[in-house]
Amino acid sequence: MSEASERNEHYQLSWDIAVRTRKNAMKLRQSIELHCEGNPFTVESPLKSVLSSALVPEKGKEDILCYAEKGQKRLEAFVED
């Protein structure tokens, strides 16, 4: 019988994937804390791109933080037309 047919769980629930997911989450957390001057949920700091460390302009910041509301308004305007 092949290894695939002996599985009792989804491959993403296996121990290996759980360990890799945890390690990747910790790396991402460290990167965010490094580039955002600490935990962005507890320290008010300028919004930066995680990839380039470039500051996000205020207009872009507003678009990112309010994307759901702006998207809903644009959808409603489109439907009305």
Q: 61, 66, 63, 62: which is closest to 48 by C-alpha?
A: 61
pLDDT value at 73 more than 90: yes
Q: How far apart are CA 29 and CA 8, in angstroms?
A: 32
The answer to whether residues 43 and 49 touch, using CB atoms and an 8 Å cutoff, is no
Is the pTM higher than 0.75? The answer reads no
pLDDT value at 79 more than 90: yes
Look over the chain and give the mean of its residue pLDDT values, rounded to a whole number.
79
Tell me the torsion sign for CA atoms 51, 56, 60, 66. positive
Q: What local confidence, expressed as pLDDT, does residue 40 receive?
A: 67
Q: Which residues contact 49 (CB under 8 A, 6 or more apart)?
A: 56
